[in-house]
Amino acid sequence: MNRRAFLTGLGTAAAGAWAARAAETPPGNQGKRRNVVLYVGDDWGMNDAGCYGNKAVKTPGVDALAGDGVRFTQAYCTTPSCSPSRSVILTGCYNHANGQYGLAHSYHHFVSLDGVKSLPVMMAEGGYRTICAGKFHVEPEPRYHFGKYLPGGAPVKMAEAAREHIAAESPDPFFLYFCPTEPHRPFVRGGSDPVDPARVEVPTYLPDIPECRQELADYYGSIQRCDSGLVRLMEILKATGHWDDTLVIFVSDNGIPFPGAKTNLYDPGCNLPCVVRNPLLERQGTVNRAMITWADLTPTILDFAGLKPEGAAFHGRSFLPVLAQENPEGWDEVCLSHTFHEVTMYYPMRAVRTRRHKLIWNIAYGLEYPFASDLWESETWQACLKSGMKTYGRREVENYLHRPAFELYDLEKDPDEINNLAGDPAHKELLAELTNRVKAFQERTKDPWAIKWRHE
């Protein structure tokens, strides 16, 4: 069964089937604690770790986790913005359905809807001690309540602050949600090994100019600082005897904090690192090419915990049963959704991505594409403005700012998503097929923006 077929049947029957599987104790784990650590980097891009092929940045933590776990290559946040993405991570439902349409803090003030039930609440009801370390950034707090909150700061210090909760002699297992603010802007370098801008390999969606190289070097330094917390956390798990009874998941909330990635449904904004270590797997250090999304994280964690929340229904599904497989069947399509970042950044988009193709529906295509304030102020973008550059990476600046209603890409031939095939008569049937998939996705997930099709 592929993801589209699975989601089409999601409802009482599917939720019941999932709950029945989730209620089973994972093999080899009878009578043992089943702890969970969910480590979320802030604006950490897909290829920005050694285990993902980056030779300029040093990430011993993520690399070690990948060496003793499973590294996903086709993992996607469903929405490339902080609060909305984190709401999906913590509910298993798309943000257009849970109500966290944009950022939670300050005057943006987006909040999740009444009736939304989150992962920490369900884990607590299942007997878990729940701890949130660092960035929270969803609202309202009671809907996402944790039993204990630990302050942010240097990731290593955050890990040390979590030690007493990990080491506590308690009959109740723990769920630790660990969220540094790195590598979000402003970049904070880590360690005594700064990255040389000359060693940076500028990705094709960014301009290879001195300002961009320097910002990427600073960004890599901030990644190294974030990674240091993961290194320490793994040391603590091992020292306290919990390395072999703890599920560890590392992800990022959205793509790199540069124009062209974060807040975009292009792959640099959504295709992200995901490394998972299930201590019950016999085979570690593997690669998994399943197409998963952050809507799958809550069902996966509940599945590992053996919990069966009453009335639980999610837009995602547990990938635990296929974690050890390299190319599992039925995981070959994802759907993406973005509406706001800041409250002034209304630009709703919906997309479907298969192994080969992607269709983006720019619902408000008549508007100029909006910038997050920190991305607009970046030295890279400002240098482009001052120089009058017509291209940004491989994309025309005009095409970045003013987008058509539909963008259709052949990702095998055009991985940079530049050649829009939506108006090509040779791809008329493909456009119709993927358009219907987007519509069906919106119907399944009760997307309020589905009404906009009446105006197309």
CATH no. for residue 357? 3.30.1120.10
Query: Residue 412: which residues within 8 A CB-CB, separation 6 or more?
Result: 356
pLDDT of residue 191: 60
Query: For residue 12, is pLDDT > 70?
Result: no
Scored b (16 or more CB within 10 A) or e, 166-187 reads: beeeeeebbbbbbbbbbbbbeb
Residue 445 maps to a domain:
yes
Tokens in use for 401? 């700012």
pLDDT of residue 453: 95
Catalytic residue selected from 82, 93, 226, 384: 82
Q: How far apart are CA 153 and CA 160, in angstroms?
A: 11
User: Which letter does DSSP use for residue 357 in this model?
Assistant: E
* Single-letter residue type at 419: N
Q: How far apart are CA 89 and CA 78, in angstroms?
A: 9
Domain boundary among 286, 308, 333: 333
Residue 313 maps to a domain:
yes
Same domain, 167 and 313: yes
Same domain, 57 and 204: yes
- Per-residue pLDDT, averaged over 156-185, amounts to 97
pLDDT of residue 10: 42
Cβ atoms of 439 and 450 within 8 Å: the answer is yes
Q: How far apart are CA 149 and CA 177, in angstroms?
A: 10
Cis peptide before 151 (omega within 30 of 0): no
pLDDT of residue 35: 98
Other C-beta atoms closer than 10 Å to the C-beta of 244 total 11
Signed CA dihedral, 160, 224, 255, 333: sign only: negative
Residue 456 maps to a domain:
no
Number of continuous H segments (helices) and E segments (strands) in the chain: 14, 15
Q: How far apart are CA 23 and CA 278, in angstroms?
A: 17
Q: How far apart are CA 200 and CA 208, in angstroms?
A: 10
Query: Residue 331: which residues within 8 A CB-CB, separation 6 or more?
Result: 2, 3, 290, 291, 292, 319, 322
Question: Given pLDDT bands bounded at 50, 70 and 90, which one contains residue 3?
Answer: very low
Same domain, 216 and 103: yes
**Residue 82 bears catalytic tag:** yes
* Domain boundaries, position 241: 3-24+31-333
Domain count, the chain: 2
Tens-digit pLDDT profile for residues 77-95? 999 999 999 999 999 999 9
Question: Given pLDDT bands bounded at 50, 70 and 90, which one contains residue 32?
Answer: low
Residue 377 maps to a domain:
yes
pLDDT of residue 253: 98
Highest mean pLDDT among 179-183, 279-283, 452-456: 179-183
Residue 455 maps to a domain:
no
Other C-beta atoms closer than 10 Å to the C-beta of 337 total 28
Same domain, 82 and 196: yes
Q: Which of 368, 442, 358 is nearest to 407 (CA)?
A: 358
Query: For residue 1, is pLDDT > 70?
Result: no
Same domain, 317 and 266: yes
Same domain, 318 and 403: no
CATH of the domain at 212: 3.40.720.10
Domain boundary among 301, 333, 365: 333
Same domain, 320 and 343: no
Same domain, 342 and 329: no
Tokens in use for 397? 């600046």
Same domain, 297 and 358: no
Same domain, 249 and 388: no
Tens-digit pLDDT profile for residues 256-268? 999 999 999 999 9
Question: Given pLDDT bands bounded at 50, 70 and 90, which one contains residue 71?
Answer: very high
Longest dimension (CA), the chain: 66
Domain boundary among 333, 358, 387: 333
- Per-residue pLDDT, averaged over 96-100, amounts to 97
Same domain, 94 and 19: yes
pLDDT over 70, % of the chain: 92
Same domain, 255 and 292: yes
Length of the chain: 456
Tokens in use for 265? 């449904």
**Angstrom distances, CA of residue 76 to CA of 23, 79, 163:** 26, 9, 30
Residue 64 maps to a domain:
yes
User: Does the model's pTM come out above 0.85?
Assistant: yes
